[in-house]
Structure 1
Amino acid sequence: MRIIDLSSPVDAAGWEPDPVVHRVMSPAEGARHCAAEMREHFSMRISPEEFPDGEFLNNDFLELSAHTGTHVDAPSHYGSRTSYGDGRPRNIDELPLDWFHRPGVVLDLTGRSAGTVDAGVLDKELARIGYRLSPMDIVLLHTGADERAGTMEYFTDFVGLDGSATHYLLDRGVRVIGTDAFSLDAPFTHVVDAYSRTSDRDVLWPAHMAGRRREFCQIERLAGLAALPRPFGFTVSALPVKIKGAGAGWTRAVALLPD
């Protein structure tokens, strides 16, 4: 089986709206830390120099948003109440894992100006590749935005879905929609501009707001969709990290292709 990485890294060197803080404890620092912990908690005295080569284990400490890097948005990310079920949206640790290991299909939205596409665009793309959606398929949107990852433009220049496109996929039983862009909606500036011109609340992040009425998840900030050799005939695996009570969780998303 061939495995294709569809994930973007958590990279403290890249530009982020909420900066990533990544502190590395070196093996030498690990020896000093361990020696201090053993003295404090176990009354055991050991010198850092007594560890092999004066080193113990390294460690990494990170301060970041759950929406940094490739991640899955849970229903609770979209709001505190729903019009489906018991009215309480599920957190990332409460979702069924089989949602995130399913047949995948990638739709080509590259070459388009920043903004949104509607249901008609998705319908034509599915017709072009000759694919009919099945319930629980994972739909991946290849916009090309990942080429700008790590820059400010990554957060302002990408293509998302409007309300009609989002419901088009949900109407066909899709529960997980992925994109290589920062958001499944249009860039913030486009959303704010549309609202300032129309005063229509329906233009305010319609792809996310759809999750208040219908339960689904988004995989945002994917990468490498151009490496997929065909638009379907592969499995997507994007199991989210189990963060208790969180509205999102990081994932190492991959495509699994039979040889």
Structure 2
Amino acid sequence: MLSLANVRVVDLSIGVEPGVASEPWPATIERFDHRAGAEQLAGNLREQGYDVRAEDFPDGIGLAWEEVTAITHTGTHLDAPWHYGPESGGERARTIDEVPLEWCCGDAVVLDVTHLEPGDEIAPEDVDAALADLDVDLSPGDIVLLRTGADALWGTPEYLTEFPGMGADATRQLVERGARVIGTDAYGFDKPFAEMGRRYEETGDADELWPAHFAGREREYCQIEKMANLDALPRDRKVPLVTAPVKIEGASAGWVRPVALLEGDGADGEGGRKAASGRGVDA
């Protein structure tokens, strides 16, 4: 039995970073240091009728904080069914605050699709081959993670374009087999924007536009985008995973910090530390 007394925590997230080249709509962060905090807190108390000045705080400093402006799809996040459309399976789609937490906690399997090229569409046969390579059976409620290797590009513009994405059929296949949450270490769950646009212009087929997302209009599921460090997880067994989203009323997504729980000293998996990006695997 897994015990927290003998567990290694693996951080599978990237951060919310201002101005990063890997976000089309990067966050902005306004920082208030401790002296600014003292001024703000003292001013708040004076507004309530108390004679407090910034210099009255110990050492003249108060509390630091930040004001973040970001879309809910910045950084590692969980998309709710509402993101894909107003209905799923004929019912009103759930927003992120309505997603059951039970969906976000479970055993995870890592499917290796690093052999695919950027812009490729992940098909059902790719999923079957990856599952056969693992020699594990999916059970209802299992979380499926797609390792593309794209997280190595985090911090660069290429992160936005150099990855394969899920197709509608592969997405349906996993959802029909009981997956409620599917994650990827790439920027997006579908193919890169430019590749979808190219295919649409070439064929005139609207099904080329966000097909994996829109599969969620038929049966509800959630997806995690912009994960990291999937190469640090073992692939010979299922891994306990917790990936509960921030609860934002009526939102299409919520920021999340997925963590995998590995037992004992032999839990290093295939990967190690992300030297290029500076992200470690231990929280």
Q: Same fold (TM over 0.5)?
A: yes
The one-letter code of the counterpart of 1:64 is A
RMSD: 1.1
Q: If the length of structure 1 is used for normalisation, what is the TM-score? A: 0.96
Q: Supply the distance in 1 between the matched residues of 2:28 and 2:145 (Cα, whole angstroms).
A: 29
Counterpart of 2:24 in structure 1 is 17
The one-letter code of the counterpart of 1:78 is Y
Counterpart of 1:132 in structure 2 is 137
Counterpart of 2:107 in structure 1 is 103
Counterpart of 1:169 in structure 2 is 174
Give the alignment of 1:193-208 within 5 angstroms. 193-208=198-213
Q: Describe the SS at the equivalent of 2:141.
A: coil
The one-letter code of the counterpart of 2:241 is V
Counterpart of 1:146 in structure 2 is 151
Shift of residue 36, structure 1, vs aligned partner? 1.1
Shift of residue 150, structure 1, vs aligned partner? 1.9
The reply on whether 1:67 has 2:73 as its aligned counterpart is: yes
Give the alignment of 1:219-234 within 5 angstroms. 219-234=224-239
Q: Is the 8 A contact 1:106 1:232 kept in 2?
A: no
More off after superposition, 163-172 vs 135-144:
163-172
Shift of residue 13, structure 1, vs aligned partner? 4.2
Structure 1: segments with no counterpart, 5+ residues: none
Q: Describe the SS at the equivalent of 1:223.
A: coil
Q: Describe the SS at the equivalent of 2:87.
A: coil
Structure 2: segments with no counterpart, 5+ residues: 1-6, 265-283
The one-letter code of the counterpart of 1:93 is D
Q: Supply the distance in 2 between the matched residues of 1:82 and 1:236 (Cα, whole angstroms).
A: 25
Deviations 1:94-145 (A, max 9, x none): 1110101100000111132112120101101111111111111100000011
Counterpart of 1:32 in structure 2 is 39
Deviations 1:29-74 (A, max 9, x none): 100111111112x111212111101001101110001111110000
Q: Percent identity?
A: 46
Q: If the length of structure 2 is used for normalisation, what is the TM-score? A: 0.88
Number of matched pairs: 256
Q: Is the 8 A contact 2:243 2:257 kept in 1?
A: yes
Q: Supply the distance in 2 between the matched residues of 1:251 and 1:83 (Cα, whole angstroms).
A: 25
The reply on whether 1:182 has 2:184 as its aligned counterpart is: no
Q: Is the 8 A contact 2:35 2:61 kept in 1?
A: yes
Deviations 1:2-39 (A, max 9, x none): 11110111111412211211011101110011111111
